Structure 1
């Protein structure tokens, strides 16, 4: 390990480190524009210049490998003069529009100029103007501000894996642009806004709406997919103004998918803010007392065995505890959290977890994707797979529909027959998995939601065992969920009890067997099959479930409550209240607690700590926040007849997967451009 002397302090760094990293290890702050620890080194801004003994001129510390015996100085007159000169050159063409720039208060150029920059300008010529570029409905550009750090180019190319940005021309005529004028098609494109060290790239939906110092910043968790990315919710008053990623190395690193970042405008559209009761075929605003009494009157004459609960994809763990307790108090076994009909019975926890963990992907050397499109189902997991693929010695194979995943994929087949061949060792790729040190299989939510889902699970388990994927130090069996509530629901046992019906059974029984259905945020079901069933919908948006309701109980969205969600790895995390629910809407567990009192089936959980204590008793593995309890391996799945249909992903439109994103005007525009436009053969060009 090389030892360097930094400003008189000796420091030892790992082999392959740069001088900049050695300086940081010694506690020295080195200003940078182009350098980013997750991107390849460009070395083109020269802001990180330091003095090295025996070097005739300052060196770019980000691009210089650390060598044994180097003597580095970071705080000398020469270094200060060099940095001041670099900033003077950068500011030659930079417009003086800080008062109207959206990056004001968060701008690296502004901050570094204050500490390292010149106090006057010697430039008298006209500044160079650059035309703004069209990058789509999410990113606005002010390219005159661009300092050519190329962070955006490197991110789109290396992390997102979509080669759509680049530099054209040379010298003073250089510009950053798309190769043809079109929108960026990556599901991770919004991250270049965070990476831009100046105000050249901004959030189009947020631009000119608020200043950073006006916003209240709340640390929370994203629930629009099952990854559980860590986010920061910025709000002003009662409105969420923007959503940004937070650093979490084991989940999202510092990236965030576009749907999670930009669909916040859906939080204020199509909201349910007052209880509603259907009268003469029409829903009309009501009050809580009337809504509860209407439900009570309807339930009094109904056999508990004809009452069911369907739990949706965005429901928090505390609410599911209350659903479980209320269903038990009523005496109904008809409870199900698997809206999509997934054949996961929840008896063996390893059956429904991403056991390898997201960070564990980087230890794998072969992966089989079964009926999943991670680019749309979980863009951050797809980015992690691409990151591992770029490191080399990593083979990816797929069973299912072809889709550009941004890295090379071997297509083995379309359906369950190919999986059967692999499990029995008849397919050539089985040898690749057996020969791999840490092989993985990722089973998609769509594959287990088919009628033959239990048989597919059994085959995937056989494959995992046959290819030595499950060992004491490694578990390569993974299920990739798309619903943020699914793992917590299975942990809490929200599956039909003895004699209970699943979602399909409840919908089938709606024609005669089921008389009352509680839809707890359930919007991904076929409501046309509900018939004359009395429907109570509890949720936060006027989506599919609300349109079928006889009574609506307005709940709180994920930004409006302190709640626990469990991601696809089985990692419990907490959202925090950023804004209060609109109107008369309440937190969901409180609604169910009050309803239990009215129904005379009192659930004695009167506070959030009491609900969480009951949660810990029911599912001890969720007791510790942000800690994954490894799941024990066991027998799961069930052999049976396999369907001949090809595997398909449950996500056919990345931008329209839940009530919040469907209510978002920004996501509707993205869906029209990237999904429907692509399907119709549109080029996506601007004009």
Structure 2
């Protein structure tokens, strides 16, 4: 700064009128070289064997601002620190640490893992968990991206590749309903790692540990060739024979005896082709595969506002009071949970109706364990009801697990009544009702007209088609039914199948998914499908042709044009369409049921955060994380 005797720190000096700042003078250059020299004084020369090499902030800064020589003598001792054990996901080489404390601040402020901190002072200061243990958070992998040196790196990825060897593909995550923006790094035919992409509207710059590390499950237990069951054993066959076998099985079966189930990893293209195919065969029994689904509340699927987060993910941070009903966002939507925690640190009050102890990483007031607690909130007799009624932007987040209950209609009706009361007191544009999905395919499936309930017209289906479906109740599948499984992993559905058709995973195709706030996004193929696996919608299109059903599309673009006929929101890419019929949707839910709220306690659908889908279940890394971390997922706070 002009007229200043010393250089100033830009982060500590406020901007003033008339300031004259020079950033490239000999004084500035010398000061930067001095700072860099101190940073490198104790830093080991590990660059040739460091996994951070090639994408290291310290390397980049030292090349840009550092000196071409060092005054450090070879006889001087460098500081050395013992490595810490942060669990199976994060590799530590703490001698490289420059004590910037980015990881400590992230763990304490964003992830809620308060056990990470510093001990010692000066040259003896170290970063660790005080008592050696794994990080108790599902967001631990983000410290790898934050670390400016090679002190914290990706343990499963260690020594597998250098960054300049990798092909980088921008895509989205489908292992939960958030739709986090990611970059897939692949080498040859193998996905080696997944890192976050910045998107302030969805995941900011963070991703969950499951998003980051479940990718090694993509190469295990894969279905790579069509299989037909003969004499109780699966036999490899050609596509022609497999599709012909399915076509023969379909002949002579009435439409109401055919059932199709779609799983949580099914893309919108395959969903619309599946629906068109089975509608053409005379079947309306097209549903999601969630276990024990009882009944779709009347009007749930009529308007989008009934089954999306109407406030948007960004808007959750604006709420001043949040009520969680039958959900644990830490396990069902880890990215959304970081936004709730951020708001909590800024004064948000959180109430919970659901199972306890809940492993949330912020304080919450336990309102009740069963739906009957909603009645006290509706009539205003509860203490938490006063907080909701006085809030400017109250938010009620309902978990998708309530659709698996017999009393789902009465729960949603009372939530709608409460939402309507709160809307009258809140800001005019604010929408208090939010429905949190936990599977990537469910929002698009409901948009396209899939049912979220059990099949009522058919007591004994004779043909069942499972599209990536693995979470169904096995009692729904009769022993004499012909079962076709289409998917990319040999999970539960494949074991019951008579014919297996190998599909593509989300890293191997360009496909459409809709997240829990109703935002449509597209994945991109990073690697080709293994073996004879094909894109899901193309398999269904081929089956239609073999079965004599004429579908009006042959290219991906034509399938997406079909979206416009059924659900135009599916072609509004990277955008959230406004909830124009929000008030009508809430009114319809309110009138859906007048029955009494039950006292059956809520139960959470996710018991193991690291094992929720066929990809993460096949992942060795997720198995290790599950073994180490689930015993640590204890409640952090409770009021």
How does the TM-score come out when normalised to structure 1?
0.88
Which structure's relative contact order is higher, taking Cα pairs within 8 Å and 6+ residues apart? 2
Q: Which residue of 1 aligns with 2:164?
A: 213
Residues in 1 aligned to 2:173 and 2:431: alpha-carbon distance in whole angstroms: 26
Q: Which residue of 1 aligns with 2:396?
A: 441
Residue 504 of structure 1 deviates from its aligned partner by 5.7
Match status 1:182 vs 2:133: yes
Q: Against the structure 1 CA distance between its residues 64 and 492, is the aligned structure 2 distance closer, same or farther, given a 3 Å change threshold?
A: same
Q: Of residues 243, 261, 279 in structure 1, which corresponds to 2:230?
A: 279
Q: Of residues 642, 648, 652 in structure 1, which corresponds to 2:607?
A: 652
Aligned pairs, number: 619
Q: Which residue of 1 aligns with 2:514?
A: 566
Q: Of residues 106, 115, 121 in structure 1, which corresponds to 2:64?
A: 115
Q: Against the structure 1 CA distance between its residues 677 and 284, is the aligned structure 2 distance closer, same or farther, given a 3 Å change threshold?
A: farther
Q: Of residues 251, 254, 258 in structure 2, which corresponds to 1:307?
A: 258
Residues in 2 aligned to 1:102 and 1:547: alpha-carbon distance in whole angstroms: 40
Deviating more after overlay: 68-77 vs 134-143: 68-77
Q: Which residue of 1 aligns with 2:218?
A: 267
Match status 1:160 vs 2:111: yes
Q: Which residue of 1 aligns with 2:619?
A: 664
Residue 65 of structure 1 deviates from its aligned partner by 3.1
Match of 2:168, SS state, is strand
Q: Which residue of 2 aligns with 1:327?
A: 278
Q: Which residue of 1 aligns with 2:14?
A: 65
- Contact 2:136 2:633 (8 Å CA) reproduced: no
- Contact 1:362 1:388 (8 Å CA) reproduced: yes
- Contact 1:434 1:468 (8 Å CA) reproduced: no
- Contact 2:285 2:455 (8 Å CA) reproduced: no
Deviations 1:112-157 (A, max 9, x none): 1111101111112122221111000000011111111100000000
Q: Which residue of 2 aligns with 1:610?
A: 558
Deviating more after overlay: 655-664 vs 300-309: 300-309
Query: Superposed, which structure 2 residues align to 1:12-161 within 5 Å?
Result: 52-124=1-73, 125-161=76-112
Residues in 2 aligned to 1:219 and 1:209: alpha-carbon distance in whole angstroms: 20
Q: Against the structure 1 CA distance between its residues 615 and 538, is the aligned structure 2 distance closer, same or farther, given a 3 Å change threshold?
A: same
Query: Superposed, which structure 2 residues align to 1:340-379 within 5 Å?
Result: 340=291, 341=293, 343=296, 345-379=300-334
- Contact 1:445 1:649 (8 Å CA) reproduced: no
Q: Which residue of 2 aligns with 1:476?
A: 432
Q: Which residue of 1 aligns with 2:268?
A: 317
- Contact 2:171 2:524 (8 Å CA) reproduced: yes
Q: Which residue of 2 aligns with 1:395?
A: 349
Q: Which residue of 1 aligns with 2:467?
A: 520
Q: Which residue of 1 aligns with 2:539?
A: 591
Residues in 2 aligned to 1:208 and 1:101: alpha-carbon distance in whole angstroms: 8
Residue 415 of structure 1 deviates from its aligned partner by 0.8
Deviations 1:573-631 (A, max 9, x none): 00001111110000000000000011111212111010000012211122221111122
Match of 1:381, SS state, is helix
Match of 1:468, SS state, is helix
Q: Against the structure 1 CA distance between its residues 162 and 504, is the aligned structure 2 distance closer, same or farther, given a 3 Å change threshold?
A: farther
Q: Which residue of 2 aligns with 1:289?
A: 240
Match of 1:94, SS state, is coil
Deviating more after overlay: 344-353 vs 635-644: 635-644
How does the TM-score come out when normalised to structure 2?
0.94
Residue 678 of structure 1 deviates from its aligned partner by 6.2
Deviations 1:335-361 (A, max 9, x none): 012524273541121110100000001
Match of 1:71, SS state, is coil
Match of 2:80, SS state, is coil
Q: Against the structure 1 CA distance between its residues 610 and 407, is the aligned structure 2 distance closer, same or farther, given a 3 Å change threshold?
A: same
Residues in 2 aligned to 1:396 and 1:383: alpha-carbon distance in whole angstroms: 13
Residues in 2 aligned to 1:276 and 1:640: alpha-carbon distance in whole angstroms: 48
Deviating more after overlay: 581-590 vs 406-415: 406-415
Match of 2:423, SS state, is coil
Residues in 2 aligned to 1:375 and 1:668: alpha-carbon distance in whole angstroms: 19
Q: Of residues 557, 567, 570 in structure 1, which corresponds to 2:505?
A: 557
Residue 451 of structure 1 deviates from its aligned partner by 1.2
Q: Which residue of 1 aligns with 2:409?
A: 454
Residue 72 of structure 1 deviates from its aligned partner by 2.5
Q: Which residue of 1 aligns with 2:530?
A: 582
Residue 676 of structure 1 deviates from its aligned partner by 5.2
- Contact 1:447 1:648 (8 Å CA) reproduced: no
Deviations 1:229-252 (A, max 9, x none): 000000111100100000000110
- Contact 2:301 2:449 (8 Å CA) reproduced: yes
Residue 642 of structure 1 deviates from its aligned partner by 3.0
Q: Of residues 674, 679, 687 in structure 1, which corresponds to 2:629?
A: 674
- Contact 1:448 1:457 (8 Å CA) reproduced: no
* Structure 1 unmatched ranges of 5 or more: 1-51, 497-501, 682-687
Moved over 4 A (4+): 469-472, 676-679
Match of 2:372, SS state, is helix
Residues in 1 aligned to 2:18 and 2:372: alpha-carbon distance in whole angstroms: 61
- Contact 2:289 2:469 (8 Å CA) reproduced: no
Residues in 1 aligned to 2:545 and 2:78: alpha-carbon distance in whole angstroms: 71
Q: Which residue of 2 aligns with 1:230?
A: 181
- Contact 1:310 1:503 (8 Å CA) reproduced: no
- Contact 2:36 2:62 (8 Å CA) reproduced: yes
